[in-house]
Amino acid sequence: MKVDVTEKRQNKILQRQEINFTVKESGRTPSRKELREKVAALVGADEKNLVIDVLKTSYGTVNVSGVARVYKSNEELRALETKPIIERNFGKAEKPKPAEGEALPAAKAKK
């Protein structure tokens, strides 16, 4: 898989770097995790502060184009990005499980 950065621009208002990239020589659409690793290595950023927003494939080609955004910190990323984008890139946050002796909230309401 070969990743080329086609455009970089600094968004001063939102204090982030926006990157357009293309993926060539890949027989399949790469995962967001793989792309985050490659793009982060190319631009010298921390993978935890980078999200892949858009991935586009063209019919009849194996090329993929996409948009990534790099933030200065993980707190800024979580404050500005939407919940679905964060979940697509990092997975859903696990909900805390109740302790063994503790009843579920629905079970408490029935009593």
How crowded is residue 24: how many other Cβ atoms within 10 Å of its Cβ? 12
Instruction: Look at residue 108 and tell me whether its pLDDT is greater than 80.
Output: no
CA–CA distance, 80 with 83 (Å, rounded to integer): 9
Confidence of residue 98 (pLDDT cuts 50, 70, 90): low
Q: Which domains does the chain have, with CATH numbers?
A: 2-91 (3.30.70.330)
**pLDDT tens, residue by residue, 7-36:** 999 999 999 999 999 998 767 788 899 999
**pLDDT tens, residue by residue, 36-91:** 999 999 999 999 999 999 999 888 888 899 999 999 999 999 999 999 999 999 98
The model's pTM: 0.76
Token pair of 100 as six digits: 């063994």
Confidence of residue 109 (pLDDT cuts 50, 70, 90): low
CA-nearest of 7, 19, 21, 25 to 61 is 25
